[in-house]
Each structure stands twice: as structure tokens, then as C-alpha cells.
Amino acid sequence: MRELLLINASPRPKTSIGYCLANEMVEIVRQRKPGLIVTQRDLSEADLAPLSDEYADALTRRTPDAAPVFAASERLIRELERCDAMLIATPMHNFTLPAALKLWIDHVVRIGRTFDATPNGKVGLLGDRPVYVIVSSGGAHRGPRARQPDFLTAYMRHVLSTIGLFDVQFIYLEGLVAGEDAIKAAYEAARQRLTLEPLFAGRALA
């Protein structure tokens, strides 16, 4: 483990519960692996431009990877290629992923670059590596407390597998709107669940 990519998709990185947990997990890995490089991609910083008409055209024309129109896409793909593991902290927004995370996906899922279209369907071009998706939500979407559908998990699993990432674990922080006690319980459960993973195994931080 040399490099870890940490992606925040919450619009409130300073107070985000999911991002806080993701940062805690990064610290656990950092303590166990001195010299670890952590690349942080905070999607709330909004320096990622919306897709342009040139970008959309370039995708349909098999444009060279080095073309200026792909500069932002290349930067994000290289971050992804370099990392040995990735952590994504994302809230659920209107039953699915936030627009900021979808925009990141539209930059990194690129035909001829991170996947190929074949007669048998799309085939990922990235090497597989562990991916952890921490999903925070105000309400519940699993089990007997569920009052809403989850269009995030199946989509994320599918789109990541399209580019070759199959080793994906989802960790849920649900019911956060219910107040401090609910937040603490959800956080602790998610934290314990994560520390069972080999990457974060061992004592959780105090």
C-alpha cells in the first residue's frame, strides 16, 4: 500500500459525518503504513467544470487522450490509476449520489481510456483494487426502518465495475437526521464494521 485516494462528495466537508469517518480510516492506515501518500479530492471545492459540448463531442470521436479537452479527465483518471485503494465518502441525495460525484464519474468513466466497448459489453481497463464507499443518509434505506429506495448502491457498484473496480465495499451511516444519539450509534457501528476490513484492521483510533 503506497497511495490512497480519498474522495469527498459531501457539500459540507468540515462537518460531514461520512467524511469524518473516512478521514479517521485514512489516519489508521497512515499510522500503520508510514510514508503513505494520501491524495485528497474534495468534490465540494467545485473546481470541476460541468461537461462541455467539446468534451461530449470528443467522447464520440475517439479523440487522443492528450487532447486539451481531456485535461481534467486525465488528471482525475491518473489519480485513480495511481492509488492502491480508494475511499469515497458520499451522502445520499434524493435517493442517489450527489451531482458532484456524478460529475467526477462522468470525467473518469471514459470510453477507450478506462473502459472499452466490446461486442460483449463494456470492459474495464483499470486494475482492480479495494474501494470503500461510505454512504451517509438522513433517513434509513435498509432493513425494517427503510422508508425510501436506494438508487445509489447498485449504480455505484455497476459504474465502478464498468472501469474494472469490483472489490467494492459499502459502509452505511443511516438515520443521521434523528439526532446526536443516532449519529453516534451509526458512526460507531460503521467504524467497527470498517475496522474488520484488513486495510483498517486493528485498534480504531480513540
Least gap, CB of 163 to ligand FMN (angstroms): 24
Feature table: binding site for FMN: 10, 136-139
Is the torsion defined by CA of 103, 105, 111, 114 positive or negative? positive
Q: Does 138 bind ligand FMN (CB under 6 A)?
A: yes
Looking at the Cβ atoms of 17 and 131, the one nearer to ligand FMN is 17
- Residue 101 interacts with ligand FMN (CB under 6 A)? no
> Shortest gap between Cβ of 10 and ligand FMN (angstroms)?
3
Return d(Cα 32, Cα 37) in angstroms, integer. 13
In the complex, what is the shortest distance from the CB of residue 141 to ligand FMN, in angstroms, rounded to a whole number? 7
Tell me how far the alpha carbon of residue 190 is from its chain's centroid.
Answer: 16
Cβ neighbors of 44 (< 8 A, separation 6 or more) are 8, 9, 10, 11, 12, 13, 100
Count of chain residues binding ligand FMN (CB under 6 A): 17
176: contact with ligand FMN by CB under 6 A: yes
Q: Which of 16, 114, 153, 162 binds ligand FMN (CB under 6 A)?
A: 16
- The identity of residue 69, as a single letter, is V
* Closest CB 130 distance from ligand FMN, rounded Å: 21
Q: Which helix (H) or strand (E) holds 172?
A: strand 168-173
Beta bridge partners of 37: 3
Determine if 7 is a binding residue for ligand FMN (CB under 6 A).
no
Instruction: Compare residues 68 and 138 and give the one whose CB is closer to ligand FMN.
Output: 138
Q: Which stretch binds ligand FMN (CB under 6 A): 41-49, 79-87, 108-116, 130-138?
A: 130-138
- Distances from the Cα of 107 to the Cα of 47, 71, 80, 89, 103, angstroms: 13, 10, 11, 18, 6
